[in-house]
Amino acid sequence: MSSANDQPLIHPTAIIDPAARLDPSIRVGPYAIIGAGVEMDANCVVGAHCVIEGPSTIGPGNTFHPFGRIGGAPQDKKYAGEDTSLVVGKDNMFREYVTLNRGTVQDRGETTIGDDNWIMAYVHVAHDCIVGSHTILANTTNLAGHVTISDWVILGGYTGVHQFCKVGAHAMTGVVSVVLHDIPPYVMASGDSASPHGMNTEGLRRRGFDKERISQLRKAYKLLYRSSLSLEDAIDAIKKLCDDLPGNTQSMADLKLMTDFLADATRGIVR
């Protein structure tokens, strides 16, 4: 198998299990290993010395830089060889030494990565995690098991997220943050342990949120963090903001995203 310029798509030193199902367009670098149960769609690139194990289903356009360990067994002492999986969407970038573990039968049995994520060097995504789409996980970020990262989240370098925590859409953490509780959507948090430090307004602007949408979210933030209300009362107060927004469907959807997240914050929220 070769490309138009006569360069091999699969390096002769790579080891590909005959049971792996790879699209013919995939490029595989020197000494990479792709195991049985791996299904990989078109235009993926597997770097030198990268190891990809199955069961793993990988969508099109993903790039795996050298020395990654993708689809490895979960680091869970209860794991006994069950047939769990990793599912990766499309157009993701995984830099050097990234590790993505498969799920466990004690949870959903699957670790899931969405689309268009930028996963930097030495990031670890543990078993049963859900990572949405359009996220950035900076160098040496570590997600413990059962973590959920929503769309458009940015986690600063050296961020550690405790197991079962959730990080809401458009949230952001600072460098060297330790996340022990859920981070609501749109919120910036940092520290050890992480505490809220305002809204991710610059990120929202870059994603097309207008002044009115950001204004309504700031009101919600003040109700949540600066009004001395209990979490339950803050949720009710944020819901009442929608009464003044009968025609602003975008802001209503923004606020509903926040209240739905807060109502489901099983580990409590950062304070």
* pLDDT at residue 248, as a whole number: 75
Give CA–CA dist 14/89, Å, rounded.
24
Q: Of the residues 47, 114, 132, 145, which is catalytic?
A: 145
Q: Of the residues 76, 128, 182, 254, which is catalytic?
A: 128
Q: Of the residues 65, 127, 146, 162, which is catalytic?
A: 127
* pLDDT at residue 247, as a whole number: 74
Parts of the chain with a pLDDT under 50: 1-4
Write the pLDDT tens digit of every residue in 64-109.
999 999 999 999 999 999 999 999 999 999 999 999 999 999 999 9
* pLDDT at residue 8, as a whole number: 63
* pLDDT at residue 43, as a whole number: 97
* pLDDT at residue 1, as a whole number: 40
Q: Where are the domains of the chain?
A: 15-149, 204-263
> In CATH, what number does 15-149 get?
2.160.10.10
* pLDDT at residue 7, as a whole number: 58
For 204-263, CATH number out of 3.40.50.970, 3.40.50.620, 3.40.640.10, 1.20.1180.10 equals 1.20.1180.10
Listed in order, strand segments (DSSP E) in 95-236 are 99-101, 110-113, 118-119, 124-125, 130-131, 136-137, 142-143, 148-149, 154-155, 160-161, 166-167, 172-173, 178-179, 187-191, 194-199
* pLDDT at residue 17, as a whole number: 97
127 classed as catalytic: yes
